[in-house]
Amino acid sequence: MPVQQSSESSLVEAIMSGFIRKNEDANSEYEPVLIANHDGRTMELALKDELSRSQDFDMSVAFVSQGALLNLKQYFLDFADNNNHDSGRIITSTFNYFNSPRAFQELLKLQRETGIQVQVWQPGQDDNETTAAYPYHPKGYVFHHAQNEESVYSTYIGSSNLTVNALKTNREWNLKVATTDSSGLAEQLTGEIESQISESKPLTDAWLKLYEEDFEKYAPPKQPRRRQSEEPQTIQPNAMQVEALMNLAQLRKQGESRAIIISATGTGKTYLSAFDVRQAKPKRMLYIAQQEQILSKAKDSFHKVLGCSSEEFGLFSGTSKESDRKYVFATVQTMSRPEVLAQFGGTDFDYILIDEVHHAAADSYKRIIDHFNPDFMLGMTATPERTDGANIFELFGNNVAYEIRLQKALEENMLCPFHYYGVHEYIQDAPDERIAGKDVKAGAMTDQERNELSRWLEELADPNRVRYIIDKIQIYSEAGIPVQGLVFCSRTEEAERLSNLFNQQMNQQAERPYRTKAITGKNSQTERDEAVEQLENGELDYIFTVDLFNEGVDIPHINQIVMLRQTKSSIIFTQQLGRGLRKASGKDCVVVIDFIGNYANNYLIPIALYGNTGDRDVARKNLQRETIGISSISFDKISRERVLASLDTADLSNMKLLSRQYQQMRYELGRIPMLMDFARRDASLVFTMASKNDDYLSFVRSREKSLSRGKNATISYLEQLEPTSDAQNGVLKMLTSTQLRGLRPHELLVLAALCGVDWRQIDPNCSGEALSVFHSIASRHTITIAGLQMLLAALFPDADRSDLQCRSAFATLDYSYFIAANNKRFGRTPLIRLGDDGAYRLTDDFRAMLGQTTFSMFFKDTVKAGLFNAIALARSARKHHISQNHGFLHGEKYSVFDVMRLCGWAAEQVPQNVGGYKLDAETDSLPIFIKYEASQYGDRFLNPGEIEWFSKNNRSLKSNEFQWLLNGTERSAQWQDHHFVPIFIRRKAEEQEKSYYFVGNAIALDDVRESTNRGEDGSESKVVISTLRLNKPVDPELYRHLTGKSAL
């Protein structure tokens, strides 16, 4: 076989593929690509990838925005760390005064922090001019890569400026081309860039001062963004609120008297409640909240919406007694007192609103709820989850009128976008769990704990740590914007000491000492209100606190959140993040700086940010997304490694965690939650939860028994579940084990068609044409290979529709495929049989099983959830341009059982008989399973596209598998037609798991040779060593995950 191609020959092949004739084997890194910010390909992702791999770059862009620089900041910082400090140049302009002074301030800051040179194109002007009349409109990005002593340029030329929308959301056209440094295009690019540099001025403080003056005088006025403009005279509900209002009206029409709204902080739930009061027209209304500040703001919002006299609104609290008004806003502390409640009749208010209703299980709230009997009661919360097992949904009739969580609200642009930066903590070693974050009185501690606490506090308040925190804050803060921030600490003493030490340090941006206060449970309400007002007015830079500001406080102008404590709860993380997400006039974004220590709970950070709670690999992949809507998420190298290390050891299938998820969904729905309920909320939970007890019905039975016992025991739904037979349980186990993850949709489609599953419940957005195909085949009550292929073409057009795959699917469902042990485990009941007419139909035994309500409900739910997952996998693959490879997806995880089935083997094998690989001559497949750095063999990546592979012991070139592998190797293209060699790798850190990552298939074997392998006992065995060349290089992130090394 030929040796690895040089960069130049790979480049020629890629250019031919891009411009002359498509070649699937061409190196995709060099192939011309159109990037249109569509189908998962965005210029932002391209720039991040290039910055992480290149040694130098030139960017020539007319327009630059501060937001784009904040999105890319961590990548610019990492680029500077990886290369010479003077590498990288950005050329921009003053054309039409588009670039704001703040954008130039951010560029100047970037220049100082990284050494990246920033030039402003101004031909013919002296140093005292900043004229913006010269038309400058290029949008080009050139990255320099040194590969094997050859230099390659990656060049992007098109329509995207260095602005948030142009890099991420606008439909743009940008063409990527690769060239060598000796090409004609490289020569032209170099000449043009040097010409621009010669006509440019360096960005300096002096130049920026002149530009700020000119910008103030000459810049055309910009149209204010709608969210920052003054509120209109008549406030109208947004789309979310319109839908929620319709749901609330419908609930009342149906006779319901209670409902709950789950709405992320800042999405307008106060205005929503006011709109509902306006449409319900109550005679009197009561609004309950914990903080008087919240009540005052709510009263103002209601006044704007209702438009009635201010005399109709009253505040009822410790300092105000206006309880006789039409619209009463009361603190829970005042209203819950028995002597106060005695002053009110049960029907005095016909509409009651309870804010932060997740507290409603507390005695104070219960007294209010039990005392009054309104026509309608509405509860509102951003985080309904409780850790004490209390059921707040039951208090509101399990009527969730509307729900919009943080992630969806961000994607819908309902909140202020944020830039999250995960930064490694100064303190290297995590403290004893007994001490970290343990905010207890010293008198309640042992002498050893007091000494340990004292030492820990000294570390937390170490002046070197304070200097480090301030340095990082200054790096990641927005340039040119005075900070108004909250700092969340691990304990009261830390907040107080850090505030003190901050006040002794200079705020370099403001050119004065920091102005901060520590506000904790020790402070009075007056002191708290005063500090909040000072922060809002810009008189304070930061408030240091512990958990006092997690909820119940409204400070819209917060533009920075600093987290100096470990994440112990995703709920608290979300609450603290939410403090900065409320939109406000003049506020473009909020910067979140999270100092990440070496903590076991770091895995909760991606769970809190992205919302997936049931699968470590999903959480890991989420870290690669780096965006939610137009918000950005990035980590420095050390903090990313800490989060990934925490994910490696996290047990997301812990029964306590799964029970809490089940209980929460059960409370919300007021019934047994099904897998499809979880799939729509958090698909990562579906397989984790169902497989915990081998099938979901068994899991439900175990949880219902558990929930009927203990402190918060509730009515069990166990009696609603009919007994099921061993055979029925076996069928559910088979579905869960082989089908629920949706790795191959074939079997699931057969079952959906034959068992009367409603496809619209799985995919409501399915096209009418595809739905018609499904109904046509389902109506026959039988299915052939051709019929299955028609279903696949209509519903899963990218799936492998070969006869081999379809026969394999039918063999799975008629149980002829399974080994004896699995046949017994799966109930020994074939689901389908082949008729004399050549069509498959349900067996009589299985049809009888479906006659039982409980089994049928859980069976069909599992089928639907499996298809839901299959659709999600297919859409994700399409979005990320991952083509199916004989039914496998690059980067997905598969067990040995999955691999045998998807390879189309006629009969399942015992995994021990497969070992590290096995040849199946009937299907011309030889899957290879590599336990990376965790076996007696020396299998290893040589680079992202090649693997050095060791055969089993006692093998030679005459062994069957090598006779097969080497047959036809002189004819590469034809060899691939008759040799499918998929490669699966499991990390050493995951050696307890049963699944492997699919990294691609071998398209060639190089350097095949006999050798010896020394075992752990010192004995030697004959082996064959060869180099497997993959069909394409492994994704850099997956390569780093598998090997712990960079793919660069």
Instruction: Report d(CA 73, CA 476) in Å as an integer.
Output: 8
- State yes or no: pLDDT of 103 exceeds 70: yes
Indicate the range of 33-37, 676-680, 795-799, 990-994 predicted with least confidence: 990-994
Instruction: Report d(CA 536, CA 354) in Å as an integer.
Output: 26
Phi, psi dihedral angles at 326 (to 5 degrees):
-70, -40
Rounded to an integer, the average pLDDT of 485-507 is: 94
647-664 pLDDT, tens per residue? 988 888 889 889 989 988
231/591: higher pLDDT: 591
Instruction: Report d(CA 278, CA 283) in Å as an integer.
Output: 11
AA identity, residue 955: R
- State yes or no: pLDDT of 533 exceeds 80: yes
Please report the pLDDT score of residue 615 as a whole number: 87
Q: What percentage of the chain carries pLDDT values higher than 70?
A: 94
- State yes or no: pLDDT of 998 exceeds 60: yes
Please report the pLDDT score of residue 226 as a whole number: 44
Q: Which residues contact 397 (CB under 8 A, 6 or more apart)?
A: 256, 257, 258, 259, 670
The CATH number of 239-404 is which of 3.40.50.300, 3.40.50.620, 3.40.50.720, 2.60.120.1440? 3.40.50.300
Instruction: Report d(CA 620, CA 636) in Å as an integer.
Output: 15
Strands (DSSP E) along 189-304, which ranges? Answer: 200-202, 258-263, 285-289
Q: What is the CATH number of domain 32-218?
A: 3.30.870.10
Please report the pLDDT score of residue 229 as a whole number: 41
Query: What would you measure as the largest C-alpha separation in the chain, in angstroms?
Result: 97
Distances in whole angstroms, Cα of residue 450 to Cα of each of 443, 447, 454, 456, 1019: 9, 5, 6, 10, 56
Query: Across the strands, what pairs with 158?
Result: 174
In what helix (H) or strand (E) does residue 413 lie, and over which residues does it extend? none
- State yes or no: pLDDT of 984 exceeds 50: yes
- State yes or no: pLDDT of 57 exceeds 70: yes
Instruction: Report d(CA 253, CA 231) in Å as an integer.
Output: 32
Instruction: Report d(CA 47, CA 42) in Å as an integer.
Output: 9
Domain 436-598 - what CATH class? alpha beta
Task: Give me the chain's average pLDDT, please.
Answer: 90
Assigned architecture for domain 893-1043: Roll (2.30)
What is the side-by-side order of every strand in the sheet holding 400-404? 313-316, 327-331, 285-289, 351-354, 376-381, 258-263, 400-404
Query: Across the strands, what pairs with 943?
Result: 946
Answer for the pair 573, 567: CB distance below 8 angstroms, yes or no. yes
Instruction: Report d(CA 624, CA 631) in Å as an integer.
Output: 14
Please report the pLDDT score of residue 688 as a whole number: 94
876-916 pLDDT, tens per residue? 999 888 889 999 999 999 999 999 999 999 999 999 999 99
- State yes or no: pLDDT of 388 exceeds 70: no
C-alpha angle 302/308/312, rounded to 5°?
80
AA identity, residue 516: T
Domain ranges of the chain: 32-218, 239-404, 436-598, 726-881, 893-1043
- State yes or no: pLDDT of 230 exceeds 50: no
- 239-404 shares its CATH topology with 436-598: yes
